[in-house]
């Protein structure tokens, strides 16, 4: 197949090389941004007098036609093309003749591809942010309905202290909010145009980089042409943001899997978001949550693949960098797919408050409160800790919980116990007493929900 760069070569490339070298099968998804970038470039070429206004109009109009023809399906992207950039330019030249050959003046595919990915990723970041935001909003809705749903909080997966389902699930709202802020930061940092950097050393034409940057909605231009074409930090940064976000979704999935098991049964997934077993008729499996957990591993793989690909590259552009696309596209596709399934799964799941409460009643999660009770009566914390430990040991042997002990039994450990101990270690008291900022007290959590919602609104 004839190549645009064929002048220097004595032979056509081998078919196998053509397939190996080609990126069109995956970079075709950037066609809109490639064409948009070319339109801005053509306008700039006319502005500085490199092409005439008539030539600009011919090029710009035909590029617009190419865009709409691809979108309508009239123009099928040729899988034999080397990449999307070559394809668009070839079609343009075929359609408008030699005027089309002027488009690539003062430009290289190196700055072109760096531009296209930035434009494409900026749009995808917005798409991901709006999904994460929706997910966080669903979390705040669930929290609002469970301000007083007492459950055991865990450390080491052992029942630890009383919390509510609202308090617990809001932890994820905060993770998602940080995810959004990270994604937005990444977008801010990549919002500079590399167009005009050329192959690596700009050009001798007096081009106007600021003009194209403005046309394309960038804050400004990148400042070093070698960096401009060899920088993929923004791809790695986004992959890291997505990996982190997937890690959050994966941890939440793990808990959904755990909490929907009969061992916990704190939640029940809607039938539409669970699957059955081919052999065991009783099974209802949390496949979605498991797949999200699994895909988190895959996306972390995309991220590490990108780091490995970049870490040894000399400046400036190297073809290795073509490998950035499949990895980042995979991460983007997967996180979007995960969120689109995860959100309705979350929305439709049932919270079984009674089961949380009965687990909360069984795990000595008010033991710290017994110790704190003694401290408030004047005992040093370490002594109070030990006295309570002895009480717990006694309870375990007897098969009861702390609040079931008689006052006499309490007093057998220390005389500091009085009648008010029962009220002091009631789960609701323990919960409401924790009104320190960040704590599970229902009013405290309510305030937190309101604040997070306001934060999310700002992300519109």
Shortest distance in whole angstroms from residue 74 CB to ligand ARG = 24
Nearer Cβ to ligand ARG, position 22 or 341?
22
Residue 195 CB, nearest approach to ligand ARG (Å) = 13
Site string for ligand ARG, 3-42 (x = CB under 6 A): --------------------x---x---------------
Stretch that binds ligand ARG, among 107-115, 181-189, 201-209, 258-266 (CB under 6 A): 107-115
Q: Is 51 in the site for ligand ARG (CB under 6 A)?
A: no
Closest separation between CB of residue 12 and ligand ARG, Å? 17
Angle between helices 324-348 and 233-259 in degrees, nearest 10? 30
Which CB atom, from 23 or from 177, has the smaller least distance to ligand ARG? 23
**Count of residues of this chain found to bind ligand ARG when the rule CB under 6 A is applied:** 10
List 41, 43, 109, 133, residue binding ligand ARG (CB under 6 A): 109
User: Should residue 366 be labelled a site residue for ligand ARG when binding is judged by CB under 6 A?
Assistant: no
Min dist CB 224 to ligand ARG, Å, is 18
Report the distance separating Cα 405 and Cα 367, nearest Å. Answer: 13
Neighbours of 224 (CB within 10 A): 12
Tell me the two tokens of residue 395.
């309870």
- The values of phi and psi at residue 284, to 5°, are -135, 110
**Catalytic residue, candidates 277, 278, 358, 416:** 277
The stretch near ligand ARG (CB under 6 A) out of 35-43, 105-113, 247-255, 396-404 is 105-113
* Residue labelled with tokens 């498991």: 290
Cα-flanking dihedrals φ and ψ of residue 40, to 5°? -60, -40
Please say which residue, 317 or 410, places its beta carbon nearer to ligand ARG.
Answer: 317
State in angstroms the smallest separation of the CB of 108 from ligand ARG: 7
Q: Do residues 330 and 305 lie in contact, with contact meaning Cβ atoms separated by under 8 Å?
A: no
Q: From CA 454, how far away is CA 432, in angstroms rounded? A: 24
**Residues of span 302-341 touching ligand ARG by CB under 6 A:** 317, 319, 321-322
CB of 270 to ligand ARG, least distance (A): 42
Closest to ligand ARG by CB, 125 or 328: 328
The answer to whether 156 is a known catalytic residue is yes
Q: Please, how many CA atoms are within 13 Å of residue 9, restricted to the half-sphere of its CB?
A: 10
How many Cβ atoms are within 10 Å of 156's Cβ, its own excluded?
6
Cβ-based burial of 204 (10 A; exposed 0-12, middle 13-18, buried ≥19): exposed
Token digits of residue 393: 């040991």
The CB-of-191 to ligand ARG minimum distance in angstroms stands at: 21
Q: Which residues pair with 267 in a beta bridge?
A: 351
Task: Please state the separation of Cα 305 from the chain's center in Å.
Answer: 17
Q: Rounded CA gap, 328 and 311, in Å? A: 16
User: If phi over 0 gives left and psi between -120 and 50 gives alpha, with beta otherwise, what is residue 378?
Assistant: left
CA-to-CA distance for 182 and 64, rounded, in angstroms?
A: 34
- Which range binds ligand ARG by CB under 6 A, 6-14, 108-116, 210-218, 370-378? 108-116
Beta carbon nearer to ligand ARG, 34 or 62: 34
Instruction: Report the nearest approach of ligand ARG to the CB of residue 458 (Å).
Output: 35
Q: Report the residue number, 163 or 309, with the smaller CB distance to ligand ARG.
A: 309
Indicate if 174 belongs to the active site. Answer: no
Residue 391 main-chain phi, psi, to 5 deg: -65, -45
Write down the catalytic residue from 72, 98, 156, 278. 156
Strand, helix or coil for residue 205:
coil
Hey, is 352 helix, strand or coil? coil
Q: Which is nearest to 431 in space by CA: 372, 366, 378, 349?
A: 366
- Residue 100 CA to residue 263 CA, distance in Å, equals 68
Residue 113 lies near ligand ARG (rule: CB under 6 A)? yes
Binding mask 65-94 for ligand ARG (x = CB under 6 A): ------------------x-----------
Catalytic residue numbers?
156, 277
- Using CB under 6 A as the criterion, which residues of the chain lie in contact with ligand ARG when the complex forms? 23, 27, 83, 109-110, 113, 317, 319, 321-322
């Amino acid at each position: 197949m004839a190549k645009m760069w064929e002048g220097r070569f004595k032979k056509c490339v081998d078919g196998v090389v053509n397939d190996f070298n080609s990126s069109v099968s995956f970079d075709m998804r950037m066609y809109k941004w490639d064409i948009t970038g070319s339109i801005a470039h053509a306008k700039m070429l006319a502005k500085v007098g490199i092409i005439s206004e008539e030539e600009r109009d011919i090029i710009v109009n035909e590029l617009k036609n190419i865009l709409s023809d691809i979108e309508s399906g009239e123009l099928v992207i040729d899988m034999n093309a080397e990449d999307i950039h070559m394809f668009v330019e070839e079609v343009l030249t075929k359609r408008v003749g030699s005027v089309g050959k002027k488009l690539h003046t003062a430009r290289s595919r190196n700055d072109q591809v760096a531009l296209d990915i930035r434009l494409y990723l900026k749009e995808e970041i917005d798409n991901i942010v709006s999904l994460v935001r929706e997910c966080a909003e669903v979390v705040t809705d669930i929290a609002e309905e469970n301000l007083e749903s007492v459950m055991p909080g865990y450390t080491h997966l052992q029942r630890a202290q009383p919390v509510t389902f609202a308090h617990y699930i809001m932890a994820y709202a905060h993770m998602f909010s940080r995810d959004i802020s990270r994604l937005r930061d990444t977008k801010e940092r990549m919002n500079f145009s590399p167009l005009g950097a050329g192959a690596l050393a700009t050009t001798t034409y007096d081009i106007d980089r600021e003009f194209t940057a403005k046309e394309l909605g960038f804050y400004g231009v990148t400042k070093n042409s070698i960096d401009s074409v060899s920088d993929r930090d923004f791809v790695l940064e986004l992959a890291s943001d997505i990996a982190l976000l997937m890690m959050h979704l994966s941890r939440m999935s793990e808990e959904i899997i755990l909490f929907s098991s009969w061992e916990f049964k704190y939640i029940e997934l809607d039938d539409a978001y669970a699957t059955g077993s081919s052999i065991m008729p009783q099974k209802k499996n949390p496949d979605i949550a498991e797949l999200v957990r699994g895909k988190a591993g895959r996306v972390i793989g995309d991220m590490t693949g990108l780091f490995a690909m970049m870490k040894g590259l000399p400046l400036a552009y190297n073809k290795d960098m073509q490998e950035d696309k499949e990895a980042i596209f995979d991460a983007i596709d997967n996180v979007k797919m995960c969120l689109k399934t995860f959100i309705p799964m979350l929305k439709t799941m049932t919270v079984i408050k009674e089961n949380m409460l009965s687990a909360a009643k069984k795990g000595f999660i008010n033991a710290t409160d017994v110790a704190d009770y003694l401290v408030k009566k004047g005992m040093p914390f370490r002594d109070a800790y030990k006295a309570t430990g002895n009480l717990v040991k006694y309870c375990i042997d007897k098969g009861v919980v702390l609040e079931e002990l008689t006052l006499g039994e309490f007093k057998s450990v220390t005389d500091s116990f009085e009648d008010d101990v029962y009220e002091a270690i009631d789960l609701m008291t323990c919960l409401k007493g924790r009104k320190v900022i960040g704590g599970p007290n229902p009013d405290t959590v309510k305030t937190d929900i309101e604040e997070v919602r306001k934060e999310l609104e700002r992300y519109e």
